[in-house]
């Protein structure tokens, strides 16, 4: 497994390889869990070369967010990736990616505005910018993202389409702990008690799915039922509960086609998100 820190070295290796070999990329911020590893396994299966990037991207964190405390464990990450048979890990330093006079940003203006974009201004601009940089450095044919960050996945698909990148962006299903909590590096912020409250995110998803199965089609009714679950526990504070068209991310009043229910909530110092598809037959 090659470990590369400098963009120029990655270029050299990618370009000197056999061009007919497909390259798959899994971009991560490290502190890897089974969710990441599910992306890595799919990437390995579908491509001759599997590249994983590990980079905690400062420009996607807001000034009051958890950039400093975001969990890191490079040694463990590398040993996990080695075991998965990854070909190359790209793990640059911040200074390798952002010069002092860095001044170019990629901004998706439509899908980025609601959901997490509303409370995290600049977040998706930071995400798009780093993902485009990683795409340009590592030149993947396919890139793998988790559906847990559903809005991010749609924003990146849109960026790839709009900027004429010849990259297949592949969303992979949410991986959950046995108790239903969606895997996230930020789950490590949770105390045992908080973790119990955090389970309400998944429970609210199941409730919504059940309502839809029973025939409920009013998005307001479904959202109210979800909010009731959050309101039942003072340790969890909902930031948003939204039902959106699964591609355009436009608000839906009535479930006439496939939608996504997306929620964000805070428990202790952890800001957690989760989502599920709602399919009205």
Active site residue 33: no
Query: CB of residue 49 vs a second copy: minimum separation in angstroms?
Result: 16
* 8 A C-beta contact, residue 61 and residue 179: no
In the complex with a second copy, the residue whose CB is nearer, 69 or 110, is 110
Query: CB of residue 3 vs a second copy: minimum separation in angstroms?
Result: 18
Phi-psi region of 215 (alpha: psi -120 to 50; beta: other; left: phi over 0): left
What does the DSSP assignment read for 8-76? HHHHHHHHHS-TTS-EEEEEE-SS--HHHHHHHHHHHHH-SEEEEEE---GGGS-TTSSTTTS---HHH
In the complex with a second copy, the residue whose CB is nearer, 98 or 240, is 98
Residue 210's contacts (CB-CB under 8 Å, 6 or more residues apart) are none
Query: CB of residue 127 vs a second copy: minimum separation in angstroms?
Result: 12
Binding site for a second copy (CB under 8 A): 7, 11, 15, 19, 99, 101-111, 128-129, 132-133, 136-137, 158-159, 161-166, 248
In the complex with a second copy, the residue whose CB is nearer, 10 or 205, is 10
In the complex with a second copy, the residue whose CB is nearer, 134 or 278, is 134
Instruction: Report the SS3 class of residue 96.
Output: helix
Q: How far apart (Å, rounded) are the C-alpha atoms in residues 241 and 195?
A: 19
Query: CB of residue 75 vs a second copy: minimum separation in angstroms?
Result: 27
Exposure string (b/e) for 38-64, b if CB count within 10 Å is 16 or more? bbbbbbbeebebbbbbbbbbebbbeee
Q: How far apart (Å, rounded) are the C-alpha atoms in residues 196 and 272?
A: 13
Query: CB of residue 134 vs a second copy: minimum separation in angstroms?
Result: 8
In the complex with a second copy, the residue whose CB is nearer, 18 or 192, is 18
Query: CB of residue 223 vs a second copy: minimum separation in angstroms?
Result: 25
Q: How far apart (Å, rounded) are the C-alpha atoms in residues 44 and 160?
A: 22
In the complex with a second copy, the residue whose CB is nearer, 11 or 70, is 11
* 8 A C-beta contact, residue 118 and residue 130: no
CA distances from 144 to 46, 132, 188 (A): 11, 14, 23
Q: Which of 33, 36, 123, 202 is catalytic?
A: 36
How many Å is the maximal CA-CA distance in the chain? 58
Residues with active-site annotation: 36
């Amino acid at each position: 497994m090659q470990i590369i820190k400098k963009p120029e070295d990655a270029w050299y290796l990618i370009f000197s390889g056999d061009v007919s070999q497909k390259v798959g990329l899994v971009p991560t911020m490290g502190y890897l869990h089974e969710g990441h590893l599910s992306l890595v396994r799919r990437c390995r299966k579908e491509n001759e070369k599997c590249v994983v990037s590990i980079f905690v991207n400062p420009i996607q964190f807001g000034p009051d967010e958890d950039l400093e405390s975001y969990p890191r464990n490079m040694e463990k990450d590398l040993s996990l990736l080695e075991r998965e048979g990854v070909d190359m890990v790209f793990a640059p330093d911040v200074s390798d990616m952002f010069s002092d006079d860095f001044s170019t940003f990629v901004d998706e203006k439509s899908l980025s505005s609601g959901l997490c974009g509303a409370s995290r201004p600049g977040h998706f601009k930071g995400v798009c910018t780093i993902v485009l940089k990683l795409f340009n450095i590592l030149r993947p044919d396919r890139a793998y993202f988790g559906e847990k960050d559903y809005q991010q996945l749609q924003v990146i698909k849109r960026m790839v389409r709009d900027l004429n990148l010849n990259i297949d962006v592949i969303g992979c299903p949410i991986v959950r702990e046995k108790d239903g909590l969606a895997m996230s590096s930020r789950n490590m912020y949770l105390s045992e008690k908080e973790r119990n409250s955090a389970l309400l995110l998944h429970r609210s998803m199941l409730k919504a799915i059940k309502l839809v199965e029973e025939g409920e089609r009013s998005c307001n009714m479904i959202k109210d039922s979800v909010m009731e679950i959050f309101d039942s526990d003072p340790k969890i504070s909902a930031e948003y509960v939204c039902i959106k068209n699964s591609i355009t991310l436009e608000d839906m009043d009535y479930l006439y086609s496939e939608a996504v229910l997306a929620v964000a909530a805070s428990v202790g110092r952890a800001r957690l998100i989760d989502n599920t598809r709602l399919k009205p037959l």
